[in-house]
Structure 1
Amino acid sequence: MDNQSSHDSMMAGMASEETWTRNHPDVRGPAAGGGAGGGEATPKSSTRAWTTRLVVAGILLSALNLRPAITSLGALLEEVRDGLGMSGSVAGLLTSVPPLCFAVFGVMAPRLARRFGAAAVVCAGMAAIAAGLLVRPYTGGTPGFLAASALALMGIAVSNVLMPVIVKRWFPDRVGSMTGAYSMALALGTSTAAAVTVPMTDALGGHWQSGLAVWAALAAAAVLPWLPVLRDRGAGAGREGTGATAHGEAQAPALRITRSRTAWALAVFFGLQATAAYITMGWMAQIFRDAGVPAGTAGLLLAVTMVMGVPLAFVIPRLATRLPHQGPIAVALGVCGLIGYAGLYAAPASGAWAWAVLLGISNCAFPLALTMVGMRARSGPGVAQLSAFAQSTGYLISIPGPLLVGVLYQHSGGWGQPIVLMVALMIPQMAVGWLAGRDRTVEEEAAAR
């Protein structure tokens, strides 16, 4: 996913945080008692421990909210199109909005964090998600629906970028375990929204507006743990927002990242896998419904695809780090995608569960991309710069794909041409994945040219 799930850029700092923590074992964040005053009195330590628990709750609840705005809409896309009089092309535009917002608003997150603190920005992001999800079903037209969706996606974008920063600042010695918990929560939120949106809509009277708006309650709940953290400024609510500057990365010599062929290969790989993921989240349920699969079952099939990322997000990075060349993994994931697309083309209903599983495996190119970001640079600053380049460029590359699927679907009247497009995009994804997986670093390539 989904795992895409991360993030502004979706989960942009995950690999760099791991590398930086390993290279700086002496760092201590708020959770380690690293307050300005050194030795802590027992009452203050107790307060700090309680605040740390709130941060854990905030991280997990926030991660749950990073994809339901997208997958809940995918499950009800037909009802939304009918209710708003939306054409297939406009629906394709709607499925292209998430990567656009992630590329545009995610860039703002580090600057906002330096000014207000990462916890404050994530808290505001959860509030923006809640407001956007609550308002968008009742705007009365497509422009208002798109604007409210953009508000929610803006909150997701800044949270995607900053939550790994919070993990590293509060849990410097447990970055791996906290990131694993964060990834599982993100995948759980993604798959749950896909699975239960349709039956929950039926339980609420069958109105698609209610089925979409109900997810605002989960986002509102994610605001609550952050509020006490914001009051505890001395415990790090401002300090953990300093991001790369606190790590000395802002003062590091700039790497000419665009001189690296591996960096470009990784950026294109990230963009093409994100394209496949957003096409899947936005359109796969509709493909099954058009093939005669009931709406509730189509939502469950999408959930199966999304939930595949929960176990594989742990397996794939561990396997990748043990291999000198990660290209074979990228090719294997691509082959699963090609088989899944062929099944959607030839027998979408009869083999639906198999195609959902195969496409779920294929979509796990996202954790592979994040892992390769961490392996293709030698230093923490290099990883951070490569991550920013690969993900910002990749999200821009991913914008046209879902829109083009909508246009092809509307003008051809079926799913044949869109599925051919998906196959055509998967082939170069496998090729650039092979190139990005070679055992070399961007620093070496940038210095050699």
Structure 2
Amino acid sequence: MANDKKDEPVMKQRCSFCKREVEIHDSLDMPIYDPATGFGICKNCIKELAHYIELHEEDTAKQQAPDFAAQLDEILKKNKPHIIKQYLDEYIINQDRAKKILSVAVYNHYKRMKYGYTNDDGTEIEKSNVIMLGPSGCGKTALLSHLSKLLDVPFAVTDASSLTEAGFVGADVEVAVRNLYYAADKDIQKAEHGIIYLDEFDKIARKSGANNSITADPGHEGVQQALLKMLEGNVVEFTARGQRKHPEAPTIKVDTKNILFIVGGAFVGIDDVIAKRLQKADSSIGFGAEVTSKSEKPTFDELIHQVRPEDLMQYGIIPEIIGRLPIICTLETLDEDALLRILTEPKNAPVKQYEKLLAMDNVKLEFAEDALRAVAKKAIERKTGARSLKGIIEDVMLDVMYDIPKSDEPRKVIITKACIDEGKKPEVIALDK
């Protein structure tokens, strides 16, 4: 005859916490139990205890976390526009107008936050998001990187060209906020007061410019539409890195209301759009018409400073996005003299970096003036701005940095123009001990 489990007696045990009598079907009904003393805690009590512990930890974390609103007075005092610009001058050559625009934009951004925390009169100051336009290698990312270090706020760069509209293969726009969250060491409060830089923003311009695109455009207009709410301030929900996005996946929520968004790109061809608008405005018919020769054609730098929202719209940026990027910041092309100064003047200048590296091997590094100018000329030929300066020097210094550690003798290394232009080996001179 088969055993009938229904007829078996059910073991019961009283919980020492809630005093309820619990039927024991398996070990999880009374996870904590001591047969010797009869002390036991049922699973319901353990669940409640875990819940209270979690609430207590959250409250403790909130009490221990620094109140950002209380820090704003100190932040504003330390980071007035002229102080920000002075700091940027130590690292970035030229681009004075861009430095002023960014200094004022950042200062006003934190004033807006302070107003929001301390006033409830119904007046809302809108965000001062920035759009930066300038050729490749002119210092857009470097400006923002040093700015975030001064402010001591999280800073994250996201390549806008890698973003796609929801439903298409690629990264969703929420990735930009997720990158900031990890840059803030997973501290949500810090992330909610950080800076997001969307690089290569011109790559998501509408393909057909001012005209609507007929075909699906997952990497362009759709992405711009998806960015709208994020730019103006909205709660963005995303999964942790490495987790698949599905309805039951745990998510992290970050409010972008106080995040400063800066978008930038080379916007290749925007100067032609500006020139056409200016030409159309200045054109006249008849004997009074001015004839402009090729030599009188305005330069890129002259045109870029005259950019207007309608030029960006013509380029392919949708009007709604332009409305959420009220501050236009333009950067000039770096000429030979500017590149020459970048090599030696900033605190982290490439030449200073190599001097420090070789000094650790008891070696003095010296660059001839014409050698530095040759480096600047080569960078202009490559059309990559300041970005290629270190790479050009690295090519020349490779063999030197390989051979120098073979001896501890004090020496001097001289880099000449021939080293840069003809690939000759640098001159190494032994020094007296």
Structure 2 length-normalised TM: 0.23
Structure with the higher fraction of residues in helix conformation: 1
Q: Compare the two structures and name the one with the higher strand fraction.
A: 2
Higher gyration radius (CA):
2
